Amino acid sequence: MQGAVICARALAVAEVCRHLLARYRGIWAMAWRILLACAALVLVYSIVAARHFWELALLAGDRGMELSIAAVVVGVLLFTRYYDVQVSAADRSLAVGFCLYSCFCVLNNTILEHYLSRYGPLWNLLGMLAFLASLLLWTWALRKPQTETVPEETLLSPGIYQTVAPQVNLRLRLLNDQLWKIWKPEVRRQ
């Protein structure tokens, strides 16, 4: 059951990533591949690092999934910062809540692995507190109905706009097309 919950959280993080970057097709095409590869590498590393202790395999798998979720959230936030993508406060709070909860689970699982017998009740309490803190953060982020917000546009004077805007639009279109062609090879044949 815990695996299903972690997978559902991973899908929710994937949806947050898609929501943040899907408006930019070229950037999204590059970002989802990098984020997926990063998550897969972290997951594989975590499982290999468990050193084949089969009695702790569930714990190692859980820790690997949690590390992957945290890495993807940090990665998407880095993408949004690098490409100057505006992120709403609600989206940022959701992403940070997922990341904090996953980081706490990793820490908790690591400590549990070493002190399994003595740490069990405290592990359950701390896990519940971390979930409640993340739930509080998500509830605060979504306390008001969310609407699609369109950022306020600052328009240039018509003269400047007519000379600069076509050049900027052409360069952006070329960059987006170049990124799109890199990640979609079948587009080149058309």
Task: Quote the CA–CA distance of 133 and 138 in Å, as a whole number.
Answer: 9
Q: Phi/psi at 22 (nearest 5 deg)?
A: -65, -20
Task: Quote the CA–CA distance of 59 and 189 in Å, as a whole number.
Answer: 47
More confident residue, 77 or 126: 77
Asked whether 96 and 133 are in contact (CB, 8 A), the reply is no
Residue 189: which pLDDT band, with cuts at 50, 70 and 90? very low
Q: What tokens does 3 get?
A: 């695996």
pLDDT, residue 95, reads: 92
Asked whether 70 and 99 are in contact (CB, 8 A), the reply is yes
Task: Tell me which residue has tokens 């998407």.
Answer: 76
Asked whether 61 and 20 are in contact (CB, 8 A), the reply is no
More confident residue, 76 or 89: 76
How far, CA to CA in Å, does 137 sit from each of 42, 96, 134, 154, 182?
26, 9, 5, 32, 38
Residue 185: which pLDDT band, with cuts at 50, 70 and 90? low
Q: Is the pTM of this model over 0.85?
A: no
Residue 30 has pLDDT above 90, yes or no: no
Residue 187 has pLDDT above 60, yes or no: no
Cβ-Cβ contacts under 8 Å for 9 (sequence gap 6 or more): 69, 98, 101, 102
Q: Quote the mean pLDDT of the chain.
A: 81
Which of 25-34, 42-51, 110-119, 120-129 is modeled with the greatest confidence?
Answer: 25-34
Asked whether 27 and 83 are in contact (CB, 8 A), the reply is yes
Task: Quote the CA–CA distance of 9 and 99 in Å, as a whole number.
Answer: 11
Q: Give pLDDT tens digits for 146-155.
A: 776 666 667 6
Task: Quote the CA–CA distance of 41 and 133 in Å, as a whole number.
Answer: 28
Give the start-to-end residue ranges of the domains of the chain.
2-151, 155-190
Average pLDDT of span 67-89: 90
Q: Give pLDDT tens digits for 167-184.
A: 887 888 888 888 777 776
